[in-house]
Amino acid sequence: MKDRDSKTTWTARELYVIQNLYIVPFECKTAADIARELGLSRERLRQIEKAAMRKMLRKYYAEMAAAVEKTNEYPVVEIMLQA
């Protein structure tokens, strides 16, 4: 059974993929370039990207739930109601 932290912590490979696809845009690497560097197919790279994004969302939702529990306020709903 995987421990809880592995569901929200990126592996080195996931971090590399996310950094190169989204954070370091000035190098203009395509998914195919990154896949080639890692010796992966583009499909496998897409799967790694998807897993990393899920982990990011899982962590975000956990933090939002903790904030709601702590303050008993729903910040996202309040922002939407103000619009």
Q: How many domains does the chain have?
A: 1
What pLDDT, on a 0 to 100 scale, did the predictor assign at position 31?
Answer: 92
Expressed as residue numbers, the domain containing 78 is 4-82
Q: What is the pLDDT along the chain (83 residues), one digit of tens a residue?
A: 455 566 778 899 999 999 998 887 677 888 999 999 999 999 999 999 999 999 988 888 888 788 777 777 666 555 555 55
* CATH number of the domain that residue 50 is part of: 1.10.10
**φ and ψ of 36, to 5 deg:** -65, -45
0.85 cut: is pTM over it? Answer: no
Residue 76: its H or E element = helix 75-82
What pLDDT, on a 0 to 100 scale, did the predictor assign at position 75?
Answer: 60
